[in-house]
Structure 1
Amino acid sequence: MSSKGSSNMAKMSLSFDGIVSNDCQQNPDFCMWNVVAFLYCDGGSFLGKGGKDPVAKDTGFKTLSFSASAPIQECTQTKTAATQWRCLFPEEYYKFVFTPMFFANSIYDTWTRPNALKVSCSAKTCPDSNLATVYTNRDAVRALAREISGSSKKHAVFLTACPVHRMMIQPWLSLSVFGSPTMQVTLTAWLRHDETMSGSDVLLDITPAVEQCSSVLNR
């Protein structure tokens, strides 16, 4: 158990940045909103609210309930039993969500590289032997962003070349080094249904991306 999953170990006060900041210069669209922090690593966060026991007794692992989430249910109906798990991924899930969505992601996401791609890259360095894998994933993210942006005007995508993670709750929301137009400007345009503003594509190799974003990475 950790502070992310136990109220007994959680911090009594937290500071918020980015989209949950109360600084109206950094976050003009949401600075006056109330903010609630939910601990999400306690094992109780399941997709949907099915009546079945979410614990698979034969394996001891917890499973997701597909029965109560309408988008997930619609998605799984288009898949075979062996591929229904793909409905947990944004590239499949978003197609069945009616609510407009704003996506923000780094083309060099620092969680994806070690955990999904299984390559040994830090935020600032990446061995040449891993670059082909990293660039293949980068191009896949860019292609998906174009697909989402083109599928419906109600969705918007912001991409950055800065190798970071957890973008929306960091103080980078309004920094031009993070992207131009900035994530905050792109978010505002999406909220106001301004289709002339788009930050849905970016292309930099990883070395110039690190150099461009050095002021962010050194914080």
Structure 2
Amino acid sequence: MKAMRVLLLCLLGLLTAAGVVAGYQLRKRPGGSGTVKNGVVPSGAPLLVNLTLIPSAAAQGAVCMDGTVPGYHLHPGFGSGANSWLVNLEGGGWCNNVGTCRFSKNTKRGSSNYMEKQMQFSGISSNKPEENPDFYNWNRVTVRYCDGASFTGEGYDAALLSGCSAGGLASILHCDEFRALFPQSTKVKCLADAGLFLDAVDVGGGRSLRSFYQGVVTLHCFFPQNIVPNITTPTFLLNAAYDVWQIQKSLAPDKADPAGYWKACKFNHSKCDSKQIQFLQGFRNEMLNALQGFSSSSKNGLFINSCFAHCQSFNQDTWYGDYSPTIGKKRIATSVGDWYFERSKEKAIDCAYPCDNTCHHLL
């Protein structure tokens, strides 16, 4: 985790100097995505952004699990967003023991040798104003995730650290560190999508996620519910109240459900009986209770919808589409933008399932 903190610092320093050069190259040749005018790819063409490796990171010990150098994908900003940065920390789960880490180091989650050479930018990373109205012309960079443990300058107008899943947890863990990299004149905030992993009791009466985390780190403060009340940097939490990863992996894992009572329900909410729905409503209530201190701060924002989902900011359909999820008729992208630019206070908490018919359920 120390190495990945070094990587984050190293990368942000690199982007200050290299952003101008990389930006010029990417404007001329945007990862094979077609002709770019003012940084915008023609409508209908996917924005594919090339992978850039960071050889200098190795000297500081910031490497992937297999020792290869880390990398990122950068698409330059333009116009009013030329000096603003959106830094996305890629998600991908954790490896929590020798066996899973050995497997991961031979995949893109543990080695830059296996990373895609191009990545499609959509959702909060889109460069089209009709898809991403507030951040489309910012410098947008995705930091590739390859350490298996959540990644444990001058001249900037604005910056937003974001990520989903393990990347969302990383944006919580490193939010204040990220703030410290910039002068006080820079507006810096953090967005955590699907990063609110709760220390909750599973269906067998145990704490599966606590046991899982112990294979990664033995710090109690690794749980977001214990961290978010103490973050001083303005932070926005975007989360599904019925997070499908947590339902499948920490609330009803096979080990906690040896009889298989939850097998159908955890993969398809329409197959849950009344007792199972009641248990999931208890999980939602626990999430909301954990956020009481966080939500009381005027600088923070919330969008907790009652969907069976996981990661909603990087999918165009859920971020800002004609049929995107809404709370109070406001889409996720609009809520995040209104919070970041302080156009309004954003503390959107959905009514309990099944009241929301705008959800894009994943199970």
Name structure 2 gaps, 5 residues minimum. 1-105, 153-173, 178-217, 253-261
2:178 equivalent to 1:178: no
Partner in structure 1 of residue 303 of structure 2? 158
TM-score by length of 2: 0.44
2:335 equivalent to 1:205: no
Residue 155 of structure 1 deviates from its aligned partner by: 0.6
Rounded Cα–Cα distance in structure 1 between residues aligned with 2:115 and 2:313: 21
Residue 88 of structure 1 deviates from its aligned partner by: 1.2
2:252 equivalent to 1:103: no
Distance 1:92 1:37, change over 3 A: same
Partner in structure 1 of residue 276 of structure 2? 130
Which is bigger in relative contact order (C-alpha 8 A, separation at least 6)? 1
Aligned length: 180
Rounded Cα–Cα distance in structure 2 between residues aligned with 1:70 and 1:217: 29
Distance 1:46 1:35, change over 3 A: closer
Contact 1:110 1:123 in 2 (8 A): no
- Percent of paired sites with the same residue: 24
Contact 1:123 1:164 in 2 (8 A): no
Residue 182 of structure 1 deviates from its aligned partner by: 1.4
How large is the RMSD of aligned CA atoms in angstroms?
Answer: 2.8
Task: After superposition, give the CA deviation of every residue in 1:147-201 in whole Å (9 maximum; x if it has no partner).
Answer: 4221x111101111221111221111124641232111211121122344432x1
**Which structure 2 residues correspond to residues 20-35 of structure 1 after superposition, within 5 A?**
20-35=125-140
TM-score by length of 1: 0.70
Name structure 1 gaps, 5 residues minimum. 48-68, 73-83
2:154 equivalent to 1:7: no
Which has more strand, going by share of residues?
2
SS at match of 2:336: helix
Residue 145 of structure 1 deviates from its aligned partner by: 3.8
* Equivalent position to 2:285, from 120, 133, 139: 139
Contact 1:109 1:165 in 2 (8 A): yes
**Which structure 2 residues correspond to residues 80-99 of structure 1 after superposition, within 5 A?**
85-99=219-233
Rounded Cα–Cα distance in structure 1 between residues aligned with 2:312 and 2:148: 24
Contact 2:302 2:346 in 1 (8 A): no
Match of 2:342, as an amino acid? H
